[in-house]
Structure 1
Amino acid sequence: MKKIVLPIVFMLFSLVLATPTFSSEKDDQELEELAQQKGEIIYMDDEITVRSFGNDTEISDVIFTHPNSVVVNENNPMLYSSATGPGGRASIVASDTGRSVYWSVKPATAWPYNFKGIVKLRYHSGFKRDAPVGGMGALGSTISGGVTMNKNNGGYATLIGTAYALNKSRFSVLPGVTTSFRPN
């Protein structure tokens, strides 16, 4: 009986350890597939491609619920890939391939808004690149986009920007919304 029970226990234990890895891969695949199907290229050169997904809730939900999108509040001074504060919520998530970074912003306004931001790409090689991002959002909506790098040596990406509402209010992304990406 011990010869049967012990291997079953080890098998179940290994499945518990492996399940988070598989769920992360599934989330990355879903995000990559949605990004390929949807979005409008707003800028492209030899190094990067900037894509806007507009206020597509399906993509923004995948970004906000991604396992790497850790939510914190404005009182925590550490760097995280997602932050919620008085200005709303912002997230930035890197894909497992190391080629793409996806961002999403939901300002705390009930008015239509225009978001203007920058994804700051900082490579381990010392090279720096800023990708302009943004878009128009309707009443209480979320906007999102992505930046695809043709090649990189790994590094990190930071999202900064401000949403300007029709009632002249401004909602800035909290400092420290950062993610790292691996070399491809």
Structure 2
Amino acid sequence: MRLLLSALFMLFSLVLVTPAFASDETANQKIEELSQTGEIIYEDDEIKVVDFGNDPEISEAIFDHPDSEVNGAKIDIVPFSSVNGPGGRSSIVASNTGRSVYWSVKPATLWPFHFSGVVKLRYHSGFKRDAPVGSMGALGQTVSGGVTMKKNNGGVAYLSGTAYALSRDKYRVLPGVNTSFRPN
């Protein structure tokens, strides 16, 4: 009887867990596929910085990623990977390979704007690297980009920056927008 109950519990657990992993995998694949587009704005031996511009499909894939939930069960696993505030919405998520982090920013303005920011990479080894990021958007659009690491030992990526609107208003990314990335 114990063996039968244990086997039933194990099968029931698999039924509950498999859809969650499948949706994470689908979201990661979608971001990876979309990230093949974009313009390389900087590259060296350690990192590559890509600007996706104001492509709404990529921005939505980043904002809709399961790790980018603001109010949900993921908040204790990936804290502050997406933040809403008076300056707008910003999000940063890591790829499932651990090699890339993707960011997206939607300032609370209807004016054309230029976003200028930094993705701070803080590796578990103690190594630090800052990747300048930025893009231009118009009429309430969302801008996004990515940073690909050639090698890493895992760590945390932080997004910061400001959108400067044509109306001379500034929209800052709220502090603490971060995600952890795993070693590869």
TM-score, length-scaled by structure 2: 0.89
Aligned to 1:136: 136
CA offsets 1:129-181 (integer angstroms, 9 cap, x no match):
00000011011000000000000000000000000001100000000000000
Q: What is the deviation of 1:17?
A: 1.7
Could you say which residue in structure 2 is the equivalent of 1:20?
A: 20
Percent identical? 65
C-alpha distance in structure 2 between counterparts of 1:15 and 1:155, whole Å: 32
Shift of 1:13: 4.9
Unaligned runs of 5+ in 2: 1-6, 72-77
Matches within 5 A, 1:13-162: 13-36=13-36, 38-71=37-70, 79-162=79-162
Aligned-residue offset at 1:18? 1.3
* Whole-Å separation in 2 of the counterparts to 1:54 and 1:162: 16
CA deviations 1:92-128 (Å, max 9, x no partner) are 0001100000000000001000100000000000000
**2:45 & 2:170 partners in 1: Cα distance?**
34
1:13/1:155 CA distance change after superposition, 3 Å: closer
In structure 1, the residue corresponding to 2:141 is in which secondary structure? Answer: coil
**What is the letter of the counterpart of residue 105 of structure 1?**
V
Structure 1: tracts of 5 or more residues without a match: 1-6, 73-77
Question: C-alpha offsets along residues 12-36 of structure 1, whole Å, 9 cap, x if unaligned?
Answer: 5522221101110111011001101
The residue aligned with 2:167 is 167
Work out the number of aligned pairs and report it: 174
Aligned residue type for 2:139: L
Q: CA deviation at 1:10?
A: 6.4
CA distance in 2, matches of 1:144, 1:168: 21
Aligned CA distance change for structure 1 residues 11 and 112 (closer, same or farther; 3 Å): same
What is the SS of the residue equivalent to 2:35? helix
How far apart in 1 are the matches of 2:126 and 2:9? 48
SS at match of 2:168: coil
User: How far apart are the structure 1 equivalents of 2:9 and 2:110?
Assistant: 52
Quote the residue 1:178 is aligned against: 178
TM-score under structure 1 length normalisation: 0.89
Letter in 1 for 2:47: I
